[in-house]
Structure 1
Amino acid sequence: MQMMIEKKSLYLLTFLFFGFLIIPEIKAQDLLTPVIQSPWAEQTANLNHDYYPRPQMERSDWVNLNGQWDYAILPKGNQAPSQYGGKIRVPFAVESSLSGVGKNIGKEQELWYKRQVKIERKNKKDRILLHFGAVDWEAEVFVNGKKAGLHQGGYDPFSFDISDYLKAGADQEIVVRVWDPSDEGPQPRGKQIKEPHAIWYTPVTGIWQTVWIESVPQTYIEHVLIQPNYDKGIFEVSAQTTGITASQSLEVIISADGQEVGRKEFQPGEKAQVQVGSIKAWTPEDPFLYDAVIRIISGKRILDEVKSYSAMRKISMAPDSQGIQRMLLNNKFLFQYGPLDQGWWPDGLYTAPSDEAMLFDIEKTKEMGFNMIRKHVKVEPARWYYHTDRLGLLVWQDMPNGDHGNNWESRPGILGHGTDKVRTSESEAIFKKEWKAIMDAFRHFPSIVIWVPFNEAWGQFKTKEITEWTKSYDISRLVNSASGGNFIMEGAKITGDIIDLHNYPNAVMPDPEIYGKDQVIVLGEFGGLGLPVEGHTWQEKDNWGYQSFKTKAELQNKYTELMESMIPLIKKGLSAAVYTQTTDVEVEVNGLMTYDRKVIKFDIPILKALHNNLYQVKIEIE
């Protein structure tokens, strides 16, 4: 990839916030500039993502640690470096231009970070938590030379209580060691590959989501889960806590439009069932959110408090009047249609340059008339899902794939036949641990309606076991066992709630009379219509789409044909479809938008009208 160097001055602020004092180093830093970049990449004041990163459980006493860190790249197995080689901008992967480094690491090397911070505790008994939104893949954290913890997993948030590692005085040192074997290891890694080509993209190593610290009391809330029971009109609320005693309890208060509609006191380990009266349902057309406050109380004293929210919605399946299973939202059929969204950026790779940039993709998807997004083999920061919650977009959440190599038969219009991959016990354990961690971290968000453990048989193993575990672990959502992957195994019945076919470029579906009696039928990928836009491509030559066009008019005409062909399929039994894709990604030019987000390839009003026709198809449910 060709790069140019552009000098920019970064002005870093001194933060004084609720007892924390963070003084970043003020120093000019060169930014590597890719061949193309998004409009937000030049807005250096926003690159620190300086907003609270966990909207599902918000506290006021926190400090963002994004910005300039020292970095070094050493051979794997070395001790922490005595000297660091330069500055890296967190939260951008070291391979990205926005990191200011733009270097590949690989499995034989490790990436080291160091940051000096000042921490002033307003209460000596308070605990200090160090949070990481995501680090790919293995992160070992040291505070003042002492190991605070080790985490493996590139997509789930984690934290360590660093209180016992803080030394006298305010000055503290945080060091992070990162190792990531990319596609040379068995771990989940999505589309990353050592040598990018075709549908495989640049590796992502290191810290790629926000790093932050917060102060909590000795008795505090660790985790909150609010789940709706639509049919009963209640929210089920649970919380994990630290330090709570038998004389203390939890309390949840639910509000709608600023007015309290439910309150319940409960004990740790219990699920509070909060009745909210006449419910306000969440739909893509009206994505109403309830506010929530969860507290630990001791008598009349509030020991800890977090803000949260939820929505009253239900995802389910039921047969239509012809006996074909249909996917329902709030007990009504709604055809779900959205783009395959990979969440890659030419300048930040896995990380959007700013919250405004991240929001742009979601808002444009909504403006185009889609009601769903399939988040493809990647997990986004929590704030991304908050935006889909509040803007009203259904989300299908993929598990990032890894450890490829099993048998897969894929032919146009033919359901996947094949065998499960035999993975090592280590590989299986890594997958199961991270899949559970992802579900734990993101099952709060009501916009997520479908879990997708596997894609196109990539690393697909023990399909029945993984699918049934996923279904039992979260009964509030449907499970698409293997989008476009193997559904028919030797001697095994089809598992999961959904039959999902991939077909390019045209819209097709499996025979509903054969496959639609027990599972919902969806078209998990199709389209992929390509149009390179001069001056907005990752590389000038050898770009590709599943079917390529030379003009916007040709592209739009073909897309119109696809939409018109979808309507009889919906009537016949199709419940959802996913168009490839939201944006171009590296050498792929089959996006609705260019990779830099500067050109939208379609007329948005035309798209919206075409998509609205899909939602008008009426289906009677038994």
Structure 2
Amino acid sequence: MRNIATVLFILTLYASCSFAQNIVPVNIYNRSAQSLIGEWHYVVDPYENGYYNYRYEPFDQMENPGKNAFFMNAKPDDKTDLVEYNFDRSPTMEIPGDWNSQVEKLYYYEGSVWFKKSFDYLRKTDSSRVLLYFGAVNYKAEVYLNGTKLGTHIGGFTPFSFEVTNLLNEKDNFLILKVDNTRKKEGIPTLNTDWWNYGGITRDVKLVEMPQTFIRDYMIQLSPENAQTIEGFMSLDGTSSANQEVTISIPELDLRKTLNTDSEGSASLDLKSDNINYWSPENPYLYEVVLTTPSDTLEDRIGFRTIETEGGRILLNDQPVFLRGISIHEERPFDDGRVRNKKQAKQLLQWAKELGCNYVRLAHYPHNEHMVRLADEMGILVWEEIPVYWTIDWNNTATLKNAKNQLNEVIQRDRNRASVIIWSMANETPVSKARNNFLNELATLTRSLDKTRLISAALEQSSLEGNPNIRTIDDPFADVVDVLSFNQYIGWYEGLPSKAREITWEISQNKPVIISEFGAGAKQGFHADSLTRWSEEYQAYLYSETLNMIDKIDGLSGLSPWILADFRSPRRQLPDIQDEWNRKGLISDDGIKKKAFFVLKSYYENKLKLWNTDSRR
């Protein structure tokens, strides 16, 4: 079990990094909690007047910050007292949510906004511990409870938490965050993206009560080497975590194992069964898994499957699979802003199912946990990625640390989800020595944390030896990945759709190929001939030509065209067509399917029929 020990060491290392004070306990999703969602007061602070004094010194680094530090939530003692803010008289905003879509004057705003929530809390027992959990805050969060700073978290799409046991009062607690979504060159993502930079507390906020020693982490998955063995580990957090008796059981398989944790509070396990009902898109079977300790019980629903490659094929449970996919941004259907709840997430995945998909690419950042848990239930394979996008500050060690931390946080959150089969390291990044080293470090970290999934990245295609009609993948990172994926926009950014008839592909890597992006923009309801840009007919024509072209690629194992639904982007400025929407969606922002939706749907129906009858697959 040397690999398990390595995983635990790396998790401990990242738990102590500066991006968050506490490692997030796994499966907060299924623990009982007091929700803090709802109306929060907010104060817009573009000059960060509530964070710095007039000498630009941070208040939270001062012994006596004074009343004008916003995190103090101060009120005047009398009519002579000067306090220049008041949360309780300030407007409110719905949390989870972003300020861009909720407040018209903040539509384009990038900067700092302070949020305050007051609440009461009564612990169930005097010995319990309480964690404050955030699903995601975009992008940098400074967190304070009752005037005490808890810590800082950087990264807009992954969860974090702080222990607040000794700071809570039974009445009149106040939680304050300074949220800053300013884009930065050294950030992940960096300055330039093609999606909306929604600022705010964009996912759930909870108070979670735990016993003194609780289940902090676990991974329970099918062994890649033996499909009759379920393996993994469980680790505890608390002063009594060492030498504790812990039990893992899967009642339906009549499996139960009791172990003792080591001096670090961890125990590795393996369970054997000849009767495992394997998870797949056709059979999304989930087992009830129960973890118990002397003081804690935690349940999860976990599917068991293997995923590997063999030459140019992807094998799911030892059987070839073709990934009929679509890319998805995490935007609310029929509305503006980020997905806020399970119902909205389910609508996106239901559209993918209607399209005929057995696979989705969650672009370009970790999505809400609802997405992957619903994918488990609905039988949809998933590609997850972190926002290492376009041109990152490759030589900056802090940027690499940030990327690793975001990668660690999403892997820890989702590695028990059977639906997740691919971890992606990057999207459309230009080849250089510094970039190669950066991505190689991410791949090495990923393999050390999780050996049960594949690694990929959305690379870029190029001409072979200067011949524009022959395309290839010339990228050193292609030798690192398990699945060769690339984006191409022939017919949209390069020529017209008919150009696809002139292109052939010579790919030297003997690996499965996924076309991670292709597409064209179309304004829903705009109809013209098939050569008129922005018409539904042009988009449908491009899909037809592109699908005919990529079907000829050796080793083609899947595709995820760009994209399921139109999404907000400040880069897209054409009046009366884009109006700050990327129009490459197969579904409009108000939920209407475009012509290309049905072209791809028909392709997937035919692909499925041929796939099921092709004995050579």
Q: Which category describes the TM-score, using the shorter chain as reference length?
A: 0.7 to 0.9
| Residue of structure 1 equivalent to 2:228 | 233
**Map of 1:337 onto structure 2:** 324
Could you report, residue by residue, the CA deviation over 1:281-339 in whole angstroms, capped at 9, with x for unpaired residues? 11111111111111112xxxxx11111121111111113xxxxx222111111111211
- The reply to whether residue 285 of structure 1 matches residue 282 of structure 2 is yes
Q: How does 1:240-255 map to 2 (within 5 A)?
A: 240-243=235-238, 244-246=240-242, 248-255=244-251
For the residues of structure 1 that align with 2:360 and 2:444, how far apart are their CA atoms?
Answer: 24
* Mapped partners of 1:58, 1:134: distance in 2: 13
SS of residue in 2 equivalent to 1:613: helix
Partner Cα separation in structure 1 for residue 399 and residue 502 of structure 2: 33
Provide the residue aligned with 1:200 in structure 2.
194
AA of the residue aligned to 1:423: N
CA apart distance, 1:221: 1.3
The change in CA–CA distance for 1:175 and 1:341 in structure 2 (over 3 A counts) is: same
Whole-Å Cα distance in 2 between the matches of residues 470 and 378 of structure 1? 16
Q: Output aligned runs, 1:54-453, within 5 Å.
A: 56-74=27-45, 75-76=47-48, 77-78=51-52, 79-80=69-70, 82-84=85-87, 85-97=90-102, 102-106=106-110, 109-167=111-169, 169-182=170-183, 184-189=184-189, 200-229=194-223, 231-243=226-238, 244-246=240-242, 248-255=244-251, 259-266=252-259, 267=261, 268-297=265-294, 303-319=295-311, 325-345=312-332, 351-401=338-388, 404=391, 422-453=394-425
Q: Give the superposed CA RMSD.
A: 3.3
TM-aligned CA distance change 1:306 to 1:83, over 3 Å: same
Judge conservation of contact 2:281–2:380 (CA < 8 Å) in 1. Answer: yes
In the TM superposition, what whole-angstrom CA distance separates every residue of 1:24-48 from its partner, at most 9, and x where no partner exists? xxxxxxxxxxxxxxxxxxxxxxxxx
Give the CA deviation at 1:218. Answer: 0.9
Distance of aligned partners of 1:584 and 1:548 in 2 relative to their CA distance in 1, 3 Å threshold: farther
Aligned partner of 1:455: which letter?
N
Question: 361-370 or 273-282, which moves further after superposition?
Answer: 273-282
Question: Scaled by the length of structure 2, what TM-score is found?
Answer: 0.76
Answer yes or no: is 1:497 the counterpart of 2:477.
no
C-alpha separation between the residues in 2 aligned to 1:603 and 1:430? 38
Residue type of the alignment partner of 2:349: I
The superposition leaves residues 89-128 of structure 1 with CA deviations (integer Å, 9 ceiling, x where unpaired) of 101112122x68745443xx42111111010112111111
Instruction: Compute the displacement of 1:357 (Å).
Output: 1.8
Match of 1:590 in 2: 584
Q: CA deviation at 1:345?
A: 3.4
Indicate conservation of the 8 Å contact 2:390/2:428, yes or no: no
* CA–CA distance in structure 2, aligned partners of residues 179 and 557 of structure 1: 43
Write out aligned runs for 1:470-619 (5 A). 470-484=446-460, 488=474, 494-505=479-490, 514-517=507-510, 519-528=511-520, 530-533=522-525, 548=533, 550-551=535-536, 555-556=539-540, 559-569=543-553, 572-586=554-568, 587-597=581-591, 599-602=592-595, 607-615=600-608, 616-617=610-611, 618=614
Residue 560 of structure 2 aligns to a residue in which SS? strand
Contact 1:140–1:177 (CA under 8 A) maintained in structure 2: yes
Distance, in Å, in 2 between the alignment partners of 1:600 and 1:189 is 30
Query: 1:351 deviation in Å?
Result: 2.0
Q: 1:458 to 1:165 in 2, by over 3 A?
A: farther
Q: Shift in Å at residue 510 of structure 1? A: 9.9
Partner Cα distance (1:96, 1:474) in 2: 37
- 1:155, CA displacement in angstroms? 1.5
CA distance in 2, matches of 1:523, 1:619: 23
- What displacement does 1:176 show? 1.3
Q: Call closer, same or farther: CA 1:202–1:523 in 2, change over 3 Å.
A: closer
Could you say if the C-alpha distance between residues 485 and 426 of structure 1 is closer, same or farther in structure 2, counting changes exceeding 3 Å?
A: farther
Change (3 A) 1:135 1:215: same
Higher helix fraction (1 or 2): 2
In structure 2, the residue matched to 1:457 is 429
Alignment-mate amino acid for residue 444 of structure 1: N
SS of aligned partner of 1:364: helix
CA-to-aligned-CA distance 1:253-301 (integer Å, 9 cap, x gap): 114xxx353111122422211224311111111111111111112xxxx
CA distance change for structure 1 residues 527 and 551 in 2, over 3 Å: closer, same or farther? closer
Cα distance in structure 1, aligned partners of 2:323 and 2:550: 12
**Cα contact 1:403–1:427 (8 A) shared by 2:** no
- Judged with a 3 Å threshold, the aligned counterparts in structure 2 of structure 1 residues 308 and 260 are, in CA distance, closer, same or farther, namely same
AA aligned opposite 2:211? P
Q: Structure 2 vs 1, CA of residues 163 and 485 (structure 1 numbering), >3 Å: closer, same or farther?
A: farther
Alpha carbons of structure 1 residues 201 and 568: separation in structure 2 relative to 1, 3 Å:
closer
Which letter maps to 2:91? Answer: G
Give the unaligned 5+ runs of structure 2.
Answer: 1-23, 53-68, 74-84, 463-472, 492-499, 569-580
Tell me the amino acid that sits aligned with residue 236 of structure 1.
Answer: E
Q: How many residue pairs are counted as aligned between the two chains? A: 515
Residue pairs, 1:10-25, within 5 angstroms: none
8 Å CA contact 2:26, 2:217 repeated in 1: no
Residues in 1 aligned to 2:307 and 2:202: alpha-carbon distance in whole angstroms? 32
Residues 542-583 of structure 1 show CA distances to partners (whole Å, capped at 9, x for unaligned) of xxx99845356x6546534544554443xx321121211100
CA shift digits 1:444-503 (9 cap, x unpaired): 22111111111100694523333333234321111114433796458x883222322322
Q: What CA distance in whole angstroms lies between the structure 1 residues aligned with 2:28 and 2:199? A: 27
Greater strand proportion: 1
Distance 1:115 1:348 in 2: 25
Change (3 A) 1:253 1:557: same
For residues 193-232 of structure 1, what are the alpha-carbon distances to aligned partners after superposition, in whole Å with 9 as ceiling and x for unaligned? 6xxxxx7233222210000112111111122322222633
Describe the shift of the 1:364–1:576 C-alpha distance in structure 2 as closer, same or farther (beyond 3 A). same
Distance change (3 Å), C-alpha of 1:585 and 1:499: same
Aligned counterparts of 1:556 and 1:402: Cα–Cα separation in 2: 28
AA in 2 matched with 1:559? Y
- Superposed CA deviations along residues 392-450 of structure 1, whole A, max 9, x for unmatched, are 11111121135826xxxxxxxxxxxxxxx642222222222222222222222211111
1:342, distance to aligned residue in structure 2 (A): 1.5
What residue number does 1:31 align with? none
* Partners of 1:390 and 1:114 in 2: CA distance: 36
SS in 2 for 1:388: helix
Q: SS at 1:309's partner residue?
A: strand
